[in-house]
Amino acid sequence: MFSNSNGEGAIQVDDIEPEPLYGAKFVRDLYEMAGSTEKKYTVPCLWDTKEKTIVSNESSEIIIMLNSRFNDFAKNPSLDLAPAELQAA
């Protein structure tokens, strides 16, 4: 059992599998590994495995990054994840 950061309530967790790179069982573990002091653990988060830090946890920023910065690795680099007509002005 664990309680949230506010100390409110408790959740029974029996079968959490750690992620394979660092053995983290909770997103909080990654934030703490990155040295975050915010105490606000949100997803999604884009993780830099080389620097062991969070690049971004803002979904709109992550989409923009994934839309172009990883095209060298993409199976379909022409796929537009952030069409101009859907982006905020």
pLDDT value of residue 85: 84
Average pLDDT over residues 63-88: 87
pLDDT value of residue 38: 79
- Residue 22 backbone phi and psi in degrees, to 5: -125, -5
User: Could you read off the pLDDT of 23-43 as tens digits, one per residue?
Assistant: 999 899 999 999 988 778 899
Which residues neighbour 22 within 8 Å (Cβ) at sequence distance 6 or greater?
Answer: 29, 30, 33, 52
Question: Residue 18: which pLDDT band, with cuts at 50, 70 and 90?
Answer: very high
Look at residue 46 and tell me whether its pLDDT is greater than 90. yes
pLDDT value of residue 4: 61
